Amino acid sequence: MKVADAFYPADPVILKQMLDYFFSNLEPFEVENIKAGVAPHAGYVYSGQVAAYTYEAIRQNLDSIPKTIFVMSPDHYIWMNKVLVWNYDEVETPFWNLKVDKKIVDELLVNFPSLFTDEFLEYEQEHAQETQYPFLKYILWEKSNEFKIVPLIFWQVDIMQVAKILENYVWKAFFLVSSDLSHYHPYEEAIDIDMRTLDILVNKKIEEINLADACGIYPWASLVLLALRFNWEWKLLKYMNSWDTAGDKSKVVGYASVVYR
């Protein structure tokens, strides 16, 4: 837990109280038959309320989604042209550990070595991945033993090739993308930028993907290709930015909760 007490509380009691608050503060909604979701990854005081919408949608569908969850996040620290795979049995959270689907991890590493690797040690400091784990453990709770995850970190990869491989797992896995939107623009400007980005991504305008302003653009673009291939539709559950939650209005970061179905 490299970013505990920085992005979220390491104390499980305090963390549960925070997550309880986020989930009790949701506007009522229902979604069915979801195939994928997008959640932000900033410090919980900034983006946790938005992330809770995505995780509530997953919780509503726990009985129908596959029992493997691909957690797909960007990399903030190193350049690499492959997808980094967590090649261990578990990942740690303050609420006990989540199991990794080692069978799928091994398949990716053995069958597609030109696109997937486990060689970078920087994995352990990537907050975009780790911030998803407490939310996952929280919503799974009594069902934790039924689910496994496949943690994947993207940087500059060939999204066409990656999406083609992920197609093999569409019936076996749920896809969860970790991404924030624009960074450090004034409030009104940030909203305009974020709405344009969401229009490109959720409406699957893959030819305009280079214009999207999201730090999780590579995993999200890979998800967009899956949505195109399998004709998934999208639903925006919540949009807010850091001024709406806990930040400075002159320099905000955007957050969205999106599901595909």
Ranking 39-48, 102-111, 137-146, 165-174 by mean pLDDT, the lowest is 137-146
Residues 6 or more apart whose CB falls under 8 angstroms from that of 60 comprise: 30, 31, 32
Length of the chain in residues, anyone?
Answer: 261
Confidence tier at 211 by pLDDT (50, 70, 90): confident
Q: Tell me the pLDDT of the chain averaged across its residues.
A: 92
Q: Which class for 70: exposed (0-12), middle (13-18), buried (19 or more C-beta within 10 A)?
A: buried
How many CA atoms lie within 13 Å of 54's alpha carbon, on the beta-carbon side?
A: 30
Say if CB 49 and CB 8 are below 8 A apart. no
Confidence tier at 120 by pLDDT (50, 70, 90): low
- Where are the chain's structural domains? 12-260
- If you ran DSSP here, which 8-state letter would residue 176 be given? E
Ranking 40-44, 47-51, 178-182, 244-248 by mean pLDDT, the lowest is 244-248
What's the CA gap between 212 and 204, in Å, rounded?
11
pTM: 0.95
Which residues on neighbouring strands pair with residue 146, listed in sequence order?
none
Q: What's the whole-number mean pLDDT along residues 45-57? A: 98
What's the CA gap between 190 and 110, in Å, rounded?
42
Alpha-carbon distance values, 33 to 28, 89, 142, 217, 260 (Å): 17, 29, 21, 24, 9
Three-state SS at 98: strand
Domain 12-260 classification at class level: alpha beta
Q: What's the whole-number mean pLDDT along residues 180-205? A: 91
pLDDT of 216 over the 90 cut: no
Residue in 217, 246, 172, 244 with CA at minimum distance from that of residue 76: 217
What's the CA gap between 8 and 14, in Å, rounded?
9
Ranking 109-123, 137-151, 175-189, 218-232 by mean pLDDT, the lowest is 109-123
Determine the pLDDT at residue 122. Answer: 54
pLDDT of 78 over the 80 cut: no
pLDDT of 50 over the 80 cut: yes
Say if CB 85 and CB 118 are below 8 A apart. yes
Alpha-carbon distance values, 152 to 24, 116, 235 (Å): 30, 9, 24
Give the angle 44-210-258 at the CA atoms, nearest 5°: 40
Please write the tens of the pLDDT for every residue from 218-253. Answer: 999 999 999 999 999 999 999 999 999 987 899 999
Find the largest Cα–Cα distance for the chain: 47
What's the CA gap between 182 and 202, in Å, rounded?
16
Residues 6 or more apart whose CB falls under 8 angstroms from that of 210 comprise: none
What's the CA gap between 149 and 241, in Å, rounded?
28
Please write the tens of the pLDDT for every residue from 16-35. Answer: 999 999 999 999 999 999 99
| Residue 169 tokens, joined | 């797992």
Q: What's the whole-number mean pLDDT along residues 182-194? A: 95
Across 135-225, the runs of DSSP E, i.e. the strands, are 148-154, 173-178, 183-185
Q: What's the whole-number mean pLDDT along residues 145-156? A: 92
Determine the pLDDT at residue 111. Answer: 97
Determine the pLDDT at residue 20. Answer: 98
Would you report the helix, strand and coil content of the chain in percent, each value rounded to 5? 45, 20, 35
